[in-house]
Amino acid sequence: MQFLLEVVDILTNYVKKTFDRSTKVLDFHHPHQLLEGMEGFNLELSDQPESLEQILVDCRDTLKYGVRTGHPRFFNQLSSGLDIIGLAGEWLTSTANTNMFTYEIAPVFVLMEQLTLKKMREMIGWPGGEGDGLFSPGGAISNMYSVMIARYKYFPEVKTKGMSAAPRLVLFTSEHSHYSIKKAGAALGFGTENVILLSTDERYLKKKKKKPGYVPLFVNATGGSTVYGAFDPINEIADICEKYNLWLHVDGAWGGGLLMSRKHRHKLNGIERANSVTWNPHKMMGVPLQCSAILVREKGILAGCNSMCAGYLFQPDKQYDVTYDTGDKAIQCGRHVDIFKFWLMWKAKGTIGFEQHIDKCLDLSQYLYNKIKNREGYVMVFDGVPQHTNVCFWYIPPSLRGMPDGPERQEKLHRVAPKIKAMMMESGTTMVGYQPQGNKVNFFRMVVSNPAATQSDIDFLIDEIERLGHDL
Cβ distance 247 to 153 under 8 Å? Answer: yes
Among 22, 39, 49, 201, binds its own copies (CB under 8 A): 49
Edge-to-edge strands of the sheet including 214-222?
Answer: 132-136, 292-296, 276-279, 247-252, 214-222, 168-174, 195-198
Cβ distance 276 to 220 under 8 Å? Answer: no
What's at 133, amino acid-wise? G
3-state secondary structure of 38: strand
Question: Is 140 among the residues that bind its own copies (CB under 8 A)?
Answer: yes
Q: Which stretch binds its own copies (CB under 8 A): 287-295, 373-381, 402-410, 458-466?
A: 287-295
Residue 234 vs 344, nearer CB to its own copies: 344
Residue 22: Cβ within 10 Å count: 5
Q: Which stretch binds its own copies (CB under 8 A): 182-190, 366-374, 404-412, 454-462?
A: 182-190
What's at 206, amino acid-wise? K
Q: Measured between alpha carbons, how far is 297 from 241 in angstroms, rounded to an integer?
A: 15
Cβ 251 to its own copies shortest distance, Å: 11
Q: Measured between alpha carbons, how far is 271 from 233 in angstroms, rounded to an integer?
A: 10
Instruction: Report 190-219 residues binding its own copies (CB under 8 A).
Output: 190-194
Q: Measured between alpha carbons, how far is 413 from 436 in angstroms, rounded to an integer?
A: 11
Instruction: Report 80-119 residues binding its own copies (CB under 8 A).
Output: 82, 84-85, 87-88, 90-92, 94-99, 103-112, 115-116, 119
Instruction: Report 3-32 residues binding its own copies (CB under 8 A).
Output: 3-5, 7-8, 10-12, 14-16, 28-32
DSSP3 helix / strand / coil % (the chain, rounded to 5): 45, 15, 40
Question: Is 180 among the residues that bind its own copies (CB under 8 A)?
Answer: yes
Cβ 286 to its own copies shortest distance, Å: 10
Q: Which stretch binds its own copies (CB under 8 A): 46-54, 242-250, 264-272, 463-471?
A: 46-54
Q: Measured between alpha carbons, how far is 136 from 114 in angstroms, rounded to an integer?
A: 14
Instruction: Report 368-427 residues binding its own copies (CB under 8 A).
Output: 415, 418, 421-422, 425-426
β-partners of residue 353 are none
Cβ 211 to its own copies shortest distance, Å: 15
> Which H or E run includes 241?
helix 234-244
β-pairing, 292-296 vs 247-252, is unpaired
- Within 8 A by CB and 6+ apart from 354, the residues are 257, 260, 285, 346
Q: Measured between alpha carbons, how far is 268 from 266 in angstroms, rounded to an integer?
A: 5
Cβ 141 to its own copies shortest distance, Å: 6
Residue 309: Cβ within 10 Å count: 9
Q: Which stretch binds its own copies (CB under 8 A): 270-278, 288-296, 372-380, 405-413?
A: 288-296
Cβ 236 to its own copies shortest distance, Å: 26
Instruction: Report 63-82 residues binding its own copies (CB under 8 A).
Output: 63, 65-67, 69-70, 76-77, 79, 82
Question: Is 144 among the residues that bind its own copies (CB under 8 A)?
Answer: yes
Cβ 243 to its own copies shortest distance, Å: 25
Question: Is 137 among the residues that bind its own copies (CB under 8 A)?
Answer: yes
From 258, 269, 271, select the one nearest 131 (Cα to Cα): 271
Among 22, 39, 47, 128, binds its own copies (CB under 8 A): 47
Question: Is 245 among the residues that bind its own copies (CB under 8 A)?
Answer: no
Instruction: Report 311-350 residues binding its own copies (CB under 8 A).
Output: 311-313, 315, 317-321, 324, 331-337, 340, 343-344, 346-350
The number of residues that bind its own copies (CB under 8 A) is 153
